[in-house]
Amino acid sequence: MIADSFMDSSNEYKVKLSVIGDGCVGKTSLCSSLQGESISGEYDITVGVDISTAVMGVNGQRAKLILWDLAGQSQFGCLRPSFYRGTRCAIVVFDLTNRGSFYDVRGWIREIRKNSEKIPLLLVGNKSDLNEREVGYDEAEAFAAELQVPYVETSALKNKNVEEAFRIAALLAMQRDQDRRSLSSF
């Protein structure tokens, strides 16, 4: 089963991260950009879910990120609940040039809260390379502060802040796991 976070004999921290948000906001592009792939500019809709892995250093620890890139289009809504199980952190993505996708963030958070335990979240505003912004940094940052989650702006196209965003998500998951372990040792 690909779920949850755990250490194995390789001393590698394995963690499942789910990438969610409206269709076309750039979730698949962010995952591809993390793998060093260039973004073609074409929109190839995700059907159901794409799963990939990436290895990186997180807090001095080797970590394997198991990325669940969930289809954002509404026709896949009935499939998504089964994909959330075991998620340790959700990356909620919106498109900085599409205000509707920013408004929909609350709905995505409702969906993940309904289908997983209370995991940490990271809010990501993607497509920062484009000039036609509909959501400013300060507004998104204030919204993230209200939600009490960190906020990062990325460009999958220009590979800007992408690795940083995934590293923050892995770190949030790692810290939560450490907190849970120390609580259970009491």
Is 140 a residue that touches ligand GTP (CB under 6 A)?
no
- Cα angle: 41, vertex 47, 52; to 5 degrees: 75
The CA distances from residue 115 to 75, 84, 85, 173, in Å, are: 18, 6, 7, 17
- For ligand GTP, the closer CB: 30 or 89: 30
Q: Considering the complex, what minimum distance in angstroms separates the CB of residue 146 from ligand GTP?
A: 24
- For ligand GTP, the closer CB: 53 or 175: 53
Binding site for Mg ion (CB under 5 A): 27-28, 46
**Residues 22-61, interacting with ligand GTP (CB under 6 A):** 23-29, 39, 41-46
Is 130 a residue that touches ligand GTP (CB under 6 A)?
yes
The CA distances from residue 179 to 26, 32, 147, 149, 159, in Å, are: 31, 31, 20, 17, 32
Give the type of residue at 18: S
Q: Considering the complex, what minimum distance in angstroms separates the CB of residue 78 from Mg ion?
A: 17
Q: Considering the complex, what minimum distance in angstroms separates the CB of residue 175 from ligand GTP?
A: 27
Give the type of residue at 104: D
Among 58, 105, 140, 156, binds ligand GTP (CB under 6 A): 156
Tokens of 156: 């999958």
Is 158 in a helix, a strand, or coil? coil
- For ligand GTP, the closer CB: 116 or 128: 128
Q: Is 52 left (phi over 0), alpha (psi -120 to 50) or beta?
A: beta
Which residues would be at the binding site for ligand GTP (CB under 6 A)? 23-29, 39, 41-46, 71-73, 126-127, 129-130, 155-157
